[in-house]
Chain A
Amino acid sequence: MIRFEQVTFSYPGVARPVLAGVDLTIPEGELCLVVGRTGSGKSTLLRAVNGLVPHFSGGTLTGRVSVDGRDTRDHPPRELADVVGYVGQDPDAGFVTDTVEDELAYAMENLGLDPATMRRRVEDVLDLLGLADLRQRALQTLSAGQQQRVALGSVLTAHPQVLVLDEPTSALDPPAAEDVLAALHRLVHDLGLTVLLAEHRLERVVQYADRVVVVPGDGTVSAGAPADVLATAPVAPAVVRLGRLAGWTPLPLSVRDARRAAASLRLAPPVPDAPPVPGEVVGSTSRLTARYGDLAAVRDVTLDVRAGEVVALMGRNGAGKTTLLSHLVGLRKPSGGAVTVRGVAPHAVPSRRLARLVGLVPQDPGRLLYADSVAAECRQADREAELPDGTTAAVLASIAPDLPPDRHPSDLSEGQRLALALAVVLGAEPPLVLLDEPTRGLDYAAKTRLVPVLRSLAARGHAVVLSTHDVELAAEVADRTVVLADGEVVADGPTREVVRQSPAFAPQVTKVLGGGWLTVAEVERALA
């Protein structure tokens, strides 16, 4: 269905090609998962399928990419719209119309289908993706999970044979991600679609994949069966690592497979770590309420964060996690209740002193960066926070030693950008460090490096709060988990206790081995 023949592609002005001599054939009806580090060329590979690369990106492409026999050289994206459906990373940025129904019809209108067919297909897709109740809604008012399903529907109505999805679940909370993946699974089974999908959260997707395409970042691309690829991959989802550890064959890819294999595993009950010694309270909210008009984004939240602990803030999209963080960092004034950090209200602190009190790494870390090189960014941060020269650079060297100092921040990978933004925040040594969705664009390798950085921050007496959808990260790093729903705290306690009680937030190891177990490292210690 999709054929890459000797494809080499490089962006204008960049000597090193992103794809070099790629040969790849994806047969009809396969669900194919593309994995690789950020910046390795995954998106380029995906966008080459419908001709967005090179027709839209510029650059030179040699070799041949063809879909259903149509060469992208002669067919620009619009001429492939009836064969390939492409959904980009940020569905909201791709919406053309303003209501759900119009958005679903947009591609069909461009293809010039007759009204009766359009009407029927819109109804079909509304049912298939569970959108019927939202048909009249304005797109801006939808949650991230609903928007992702609408974006999927808006290409499905054109009845493409190939679906290309760039990180469809990375911005979604676990239940919403399940919804989108279940819909995809149904499409592959019922309609025989060929799906090419890039995703960092392997644990969510790999069980559905027929094949895994690895993009290591040196321009080459290789493909293989999921179990074979993961058996040797340096980083893998928790079930796979558990399977490797216990020597299970075939390697389990889903929680269900692992649970069946785990019956043979005899483990002593886990020894819980000694409860961490609570430090002094660094940041706290008391009956905090934040409202936007009639809507309470956060309602009556009372929370203490102590020195030396890492707190994971979880909850579905729109539960109030980001709002809570922006109050802690003083970007917003509470509508009711109070926020204090080290005894002062952060929103009343002048900008230049705020950085020494509390630091926030926003969802898109690039927003914090505006110098034109890594070194300049570090110098700028020192100047702004009135620190001795070289402080930020030293922090950066301890987090990410291999960062080229002359590189422009926007040319860094997502993980490197996060490291730089974190260094900028940490230079001023704020007692309270906040991270909003730090793993959104992070690959496994970058995530593995983030865990010890956060642990060592806590060990040095910082209080760390991170909001995340990533249950695996929360299990690895957080002492305490707070679950928000509709702006209220519904669970607050040691991570082990909280995830035992709600399956939606349980990491894979907990799902396989039952309560008590959190991480592969714990199991490894118990087996040793």
Chain B
Amino acid sequence: MTAALPRHLHPGAWWVWSIGLGVAATRTTNPVLLALVLGVAGYVVAARRSDAPWARAYVAFLKLGAFVLVVRMLLQIAFGQPLPGTVLFRLPEVDPPRWLAGIRLGGAVTAEAVVGQLYAGLRLGTLLACVGAANALASPYRLLRALPGALYEAGVAVTVALAFAPQALVSAHAVREARRLRGRATRGPGSLRGLVVPVLEGALARSVQLAASMDARGYGRRAGPPSRAAAAAMFGGLLTLCVGTYGLLDPSTPPVLGFPAMAAGTALLGYALVRGSRRAARSRYRPDVWRWPEWAVCAAGLVPPVALALVDPAALQPSTNPLVAPAVPLLAVLGVLVALAPAFVAPRPPSTLPRTLRAATA
């Protein structure tokens, strides 16, 4: 079989795959399984990411995850509730004032508490890594392009918001440099004042420029007058969904307010979306296609959470009190390993290099 031609996999497929992995990660605190999820995500990213700058997101999210893990551990050691068990070391204990009753500072640090925090932190870090994998494999903008027309505008608001954070970082860097040039402190609490306002100003100015540029290029043009039917269906659908949720949660309500109301609400919302999409004048340039590799990637992402659901819950939450070596359920391991499939079935992403260079480096 000849290898498939390079193309971008549909971003939706990558997001389904990584959300599947992420859901699997939230179901367990077993460090072996979590490490396996991290490894699987990392391997697929390494095999199928493009050479664009956002493909580096995985490493950035890994770092963020590690940071969260460390901060959680430190907080637990300093403030956490004491757990009986093997004492590793003792921190000097501070007697909190009476109005802080119930909060402990310092004291004995037990292996049980540390390991418990480690497991919980690892789960959070793995979840972040899954989000990072999705960002590295498919840029958020590509996903927005694939949204139905009626949701597009809300999606673009998200794009502008997403652009805000990197902008703020860039302008924070510039402001710090300027402060050093003027001979002012660049660290410490005093430097924080006078940093926030210029940073926000700079990032906000960029956002306004972006919005002006979008408007000048026809963003938000309408084919016809706004549709009242779509607006009414949207409102009615949301209202019916609320009633349906209430009906499902409160067993004393008549059964018609449960599932039937949910179904009716969903149908109304679907109608509003289709109707609204028809009204937007937008067309799509080279839309991403959905073929069998997309189905395969989605399926591979859904196997891990299903496999974990079938495993004995006790094996997924290894005991930390008393401390025991975590058991490794075979079914869960196999299930997570299935998520490696995209590294082989997904097409390679196209290179961003020009053709001539590509031939030379091949």
The answer to the question of B84 belonging to the interface, with a C-beta cut-off of 8 Å to chain A, is no
Report if A370-B218 is in contact (Cβ < 8 Å); known contacts: A88-B209, A118-B283: no
Is A50 within 8 A of B285, CB to CB?
Answer: no
Partner of A106, one of B179, B209, B217: B217
Bound together, the chains give a CA A88 to CA B208 distance in angstroms of 12
With a cutoff of 8 Å between Cβ atoms, the chain A residues found around residue B218 in the complex are 78, 81-82, 107, 110-111, 158
Interface size class of A (residues with CB under 8 A): 35 or more
Bound together, the chains give a CA A138 to CA B350 distance in angstroms of 12
Is A351 within 8 A of B180, CB to CB?
Answer: yes
Report if A79-B183 is in contact (Cβ < 8 Å); known contacts: A108-B285, A370-B194: no
Bound together, the chains give a CA A94 to CA B281 distance in angstroms of 22
The answer to the question of A86 belonging to the interface, with a C-beta cut-off of 8 Å to chain B, is yes
The answer to the question of B361 belonging to the interface, with a C-beta cut-off of 8 Å to chain A, is no
Is B139 within 8 A of A56, CB to CB?
Answer: no
Report if A112-B283 is in contact (Cβ < 8 Å); known contacts: A77-B215, A78-B215, A136-B352: yes
Q: How far is the CB of A123 from chain B (nearest CB, A)?
A: 12
Bound together, the chains give a CA A84 to CA B184 distance in angstroms of 46
The answer to the question of B291 belonging to the interface, with a C-beta cut-off of 8 Å to chain A, is no
Is A86 within 8 A of B178, CB to CB?
Answer: no
Is B285 within 8 A of A78, CB to CB?
Answer: no
Partner of A52, one of B156, B194, B215: B215
Report if A102-B356 is in contact (Cβ < 8 Å); known contacts: A56-B212, A112-B223, A354-B180: no
Partner of B217, one of A141, A155, A353: A155
The answer to the question of A457 belonging to the interface, with a C-beta cut-off of 8 Å to chain B, is no
The answer to the question of A331 belonging to the interface, with a C-beta cut-off of 8 Å to chain B, is yes
Is A96 within 8 A of B214, CB to CB?
Answer: yes
With a cutoff of 8 Å between Cβ atoms, the chain B residues found around residue A88 in the complex are 209, 212-213
Partner of B209, one of A93, A97, A115, A368: A93
Report B251-277 CB contacts with A as 1/0, cut-off 8 Å. 000000000000000000000000000
Is A352 within 8 A of B183, CB to CB?
Answer: yes
Bound together, the chains give a CA A127 to CA B295 distance in angstroms of 36
Report if A110-B282 is in contact (Cβ < 8 Å); known contacts: A88-B212, A355-B183: yes
Is A110 within 8 A of B217, CB to CB?
Answer: yes
A-B CB contacts (within 8 Å), total count: 167
With a cutoff of 8 Å between Cβ atoms, the chain A residues found around residue B228 in the complex are none
Partner of B206, one of A93, A109, A140: A93
The answer to the question of B36 belonging to the interface, with a C-beta cut-off of 8 Å to chain A, is no
Is B283 within 8 A of A136, CB to CB?
Answer: no
Which of A60-68, A181-189, A277-285, A359-367 lines the interface with chain B?
A359-367
The answer to the question of B314 belonging to the interface, with a C-beta cut-off of 8 Å to chain A, is no
Bound together, the chains give a CA A110 to CA B282 distance in angstroms of 5
Residues from 330 to 362 in B contacting A, C-beta threshold 8 Å: 350-356
Partner of A140, one of B53, B198, B285, B286: B53
Report A31-62 CB contacts with B as 1/0, cut-off 8 Å. 00000000000000000001010011000000
Bound together, the chains give a CA A233 to CA B142 distance in angstroms of 51
Q: Who on chain A is nearest to B160 by CB?
A: A96
Residues from 135 to 152 in A contacting B, C-beta threshold 8 Å: 136-138, 140-141
Residues of B bordering A, CB below 8 Å? 52-54, 139, 141, 145, 156, 159, 174-175, 177-186, 194, 198, 206, 209-221, 223, 281-286, 350-356
Given contact pairs A95-B213, A158-B218, A367-B175, a sample of 15 additional A-B residue pairs in the complex whose CB atoms are under 8 Å apart: A56-B211, A86-B216, A93-B210, A93-B213, A96-B210, A96-B214, A97-B141, A98-B54, A107-B218, A115-B284, A133-B355, A351-B179, A367-B177, A370-B194, A370-B198
Residues of A bordering B, CB below 8 Å? 50, 52, 55-56, 76-79, 81-82, 84, 86, 88, 90, 93-99, 101-102, 105-115, 118-119, 122, 132-134, 136-138, 140-141, 154-155, 158, 326, 329-331, 351-355, 359-360, 362, 364, 367-368, 370, 381, 384-385, 424-425, 428
Shortest beta-carbon contacts, A-B, top 3: A94-B213, A81-B218, A105-B285
Instruction: Please list 30 pairs of residues, one from A and one from B, whose beta carbons are closer than 8 Å in the complex, sorted by A's number.
Output: A56-B212, A78-B216, A78-B217, A81-B216, A82-B218, A88-B209, A93-B209, A93-B210, A94-B209, A96-B159, A101-B285, A105-B286, A109-B282, A110-B281, A112-B223, A114-B283, A115-B283, A119-B285, A119-B286, A136-B351, A351-B180, A351-B185, A362-B177, A362-B181, A367-B178, A368-B178, A368-B181, A370-B194, A381-B182, A428-B183
